[in-house]
Chains A and B, each alone.
Chain A
Amino acid sequence: MSKEPKVSIRGLYKIFGDDPQAMLPHVHSGMGKPELLEKYNHVLGLQDINVDMQAGEITVIMGLSGSGKSTLIRHLNRLIEPTSGEVIVDGENVLDYDEEQLRNLRRNKMSMVFQKFALLPHRTVLQNAGMSRLVRGEDEASAESHGRPWLQRVGLDGYEDHYPHQLSGGMQQRVGIARALASDSDIMLMDEAFSALDPLIRTDMQDLLLELQKELQKTIVFITHDLDEALKLADHLVILKDGYVVQQGEPQHILLNPNDPYIEDFVSDINRARVLRVRSVMSPLNGETEFSGVVDANDNLEKLIELSEGDTSHNFKVQKDGEDVGILHMKDLVRALVPTRAAEKGAVR
């Protein structure tokens, strides 16, 4: 975590209303969202957002509708102008950019995938996939030669000459992803990219994204309202509520140490055995020699339960890349399956 973050958001505020600048002092002095709405009729969209996004990681921003997550992602490429704050990409403040620089950022550095796909309905799938190239001023042939391999990569061979309305939702979103990838940008913004798809296809698309990410190592900012999806994809998880960051960090850590009743509520509904990994609940090796078996640090707890056949007396040796890194007591595992209360642990941040 010592390296420079690829994207970092510093002290970002967004207030919607007639005179947002005049409202800033009120917000700085601690006025909350309901009060601001009632007294001044301004909506506090985002308050004091500070997030670092590392290169090659998937940062997931999660929140319920109205939490400001879609507003936040649109600040990264300035589809929405902030009221105050900084968005730093590769060491440069995007908010200082003029129109030309901003256009270059959008054309070359950041691509975006949308919840409602937002494909051009009058263009073929192939033309859509090559859109970013055409926008940059490259010719039709170059656009097609860059679009075609990505369409193949997302599994859409043979659909090049179809129109978007002829494809199913999942396939349309594959085109959306191919379109974003074809621009060769380092950063991909995904705004609820899979939320409009049905559950099975959503799982497919998540797997596709993880597979692509393993190979491409892009910096991905992913927005979702679905915790399972967030936990599956996230390297870094940011939880938003009413426009502020409730908690952020490694997803496993948040799951085990929720610092807010809001997050506990979220966390209590998920299948912990499937989401939690061995590395999160293991303890350091302490000279034990008796093991019932060897497991990988990245295995999930469900697999362990299956392995131990429910017997809580077992201990397992944990290995990572072939090295012994710790021991897993089945008792700890069972304990970890019960959601912790923030109050008992004391708020950790």
Chain B
Amino acid sequence: MAAYDWLFGALGLKDWCEKDASGGPMTMAQLLAKSGKDGGGGEGAPVSFWDTPFPSLDTLNESCSSVARTRDMTTWVENLFLSVKDPLKVVLDPISQPLSWALDGSLWLFQTVPWFIVIPLLLLAVWGASRSWKLVGFVAISFLFLSFIDHYVPAIQTLSIIFVCTGFSVLLGVPIGILMSRSDRFQRVSLPVLDMLQTLPTFVYLIPLIFLFSVTESKLYGIAIILYAIVPVIRLTDLGIRLVDQDVIEAADAFGMTDKQKLFGVQIPLAMPNIMAGVNQTIMMSLAMVVIASLVSAPGLGVLVLRGIRNLELGVGLVSGFGIVLLAILLDRVTKASLGRINTAQKD
């Protein structure tokens, strides 16, 4: 006799419960209990009040087999996902295809062009962004070191993934942030979604994506990285535009600027420091995610970390981990330096 028999008795639901008495397959716990009972436990021993279990689905199912069990519920969620998966895939697949192309293309490009061209080009980009010889020197030394210890290819793979994912994040995130700054209602709707994207454990992103896309497709990890990393650029674009000095906005209105002139001539330029801070955060977060994404076949330094964990190759894991830290420092310093240049160009 189970704990809640009295409940269904009192509600007069006994017939409904027994109609489908066969029940589903037994759970492991039931099986164990059964074998235990066969061994000796008295059938139908009354449950003491102190031991009353919480009326969860599984407990109720013991009293009334018509009640679904928790694992039926998870199966139901799974089936729901699987049933929407195909139509979803029809829509998402073509939309996300450019991401695959971009990721594959950029990986191919970075690996095909020889190192003695890639590294100078990177240094040139650093100079363009930061105008600081010190930083260029630091980047040069870091890359030569990574190459020297044979980590050039994974490092450049990681970098290429980050470039592409940050690019997509900015391309999508800035317009979304602008929309949020213009509509309070849209902001109210978006903020919980952004909160969710930021707090969801990173592994959880991967689960539905694995079902949606094949693990061999690069957009799988691309989407995971973008979903995780796009949040700060959206938030800070929204914030930056909302923080633009109202007096300046009023002046723009008083001189008859159209919304478009205001957006591109005043709001975005004045929000630039905040937007760039968002881009910096986005880069940092995609770097964090690219390591986890190695679980779903993202190439790069993350793969080496993963190898370190799987095979307990301590040295491999530590060195590649250090490589990631080095990349993080480089990217952070370079974006901060270019942010600093924007800031000095427009103080008020």
Contacts and interface: CB of A to CB of B under 8 A. Distances in A.
Contact of A112 (B248, B254, B261, B348): B254
A122 interface: yes
A122 B270 contact: yes
B49 interface: no
Given A114-B247, A116-B247, A121 B254 contact: no
Nearest to B258: A103
Contacts of A135: 255-257, 261
A107 B266 CA distance: 17
Contacts of B258: 103
Contacts of B251: 112, 114, 118-120
A106 B254 contact: yes
Given A164-B348, A165-B347, A165-B348, A118 B253 contact: no
Contact of B270 (A79, A121, A189): A121
A316 B251 CA distance: 50
Given A114-B254, A135-B255, 4 more contacts: A79-B250, A122-B270, A135-B256, A135-B257
A183 B266 CA distance: 19
A124 to B, nearest CB: 11
B26 interface: no
A107 to B, nearest CB: 4
Contacts of A114: 247, 250-251, 254
Interface in A203-247: none
A67 interface: no
Interface in A110-137: 110-112, 114, 116-122, 131-132, 134-136
A104 interface: yes
Contacts, number: 65
Contacts of A110: 254
A257 interface: no
Interface in B265-312: 265-266, 269-270, 272
A16 interface: no
Interface string A90-115: 00000000000011111100111010
Contacts of A119: 248, 251
Contacts of A106: 253-256
A159 interface: no
B245 interface: yes
Interface residues of B, number: 21
B261 A118 contact: no
Nearest to A131: B255
A77 interface: yes
Interface centre among B255, B269, B272 (most CB of A within 10 A): B255
5 contacts: A110-B254, A112-B254, A114-B254, A122-B346, A132-B255
Contacts of B346: 121-122, 163, 165
Contacts of A118: 245, 247-248, 250-251
Contacts of A79: 250, 253-254
A143 to B, nearest CB: 12
A93 to B, nearest CB: 18
A106 B256 CA distance: 5
B347 A112 contact: no
Contacts of B247: 114, 116-118
Contacts of B266: 120
A163 B344 CA distance: 11
A218 B256 CA distance: 19
A116 B251 CA distance: 10
Main secondary structure of the interface of B (DSSP, over half): helix
B345 interface: yes
Contacts of A112: 251, 254-255
A14 B11 CA distance: 65
Nearest to A179: B255
A81 to B, nearest CB: 12
The 10 closest A-B pairs by CB, nearest first: A106-B256, A107-B256, A118-B251, A121-B348, A122-B346, A112-B254, A118-B247, A103-B256, A116-B247, A122-B269
Interface string B319-348: 000000000000000000000000001111
Contacts of B245: 118
Nearest to B249: A118
A114 B253 CA distance: 12
Interface string A297-319: 00000000000000000000000
B265 to A, nearest CB: 8
Nearest to B261: A135
Contacts of B261: 135
A131 to B, nearest CB: 6
Nearest to B246: A118
Nearest to A128: B251
Interface centre among B247, B261, B272, B348 (most CB of A within 10 A): B348
A154 B314 CA distance: 72
A195 B345 CA distance: 28
B268 to A, nearest CB: 10
Contacts of A77: 254
Interface string A124-156: 000000011011100000000000000000000
A12 B265 CA distance: 34
A305 to B, nearest CB: 44
Interface string A160-202: 0001110000000000000000010000010000000000000
B339 to A, nearest CB: 15
Contacts of B348: 121, 164-165
A165 B344 CA distance: 10
Contacts of B257: 135
B222 to A, nearest CB: 34
Nearest to B347: A165
Contacts of A116: 247
A191 to B, nearest CB: 9
A87 B250 CA distance: 20
Given A103-B258, A164-B348, A120 B253 contact: no
Contact of B255 (A102, A117, A165, A183): A183
B254 A120 contact: no
A135 to B, nearest CB: 5
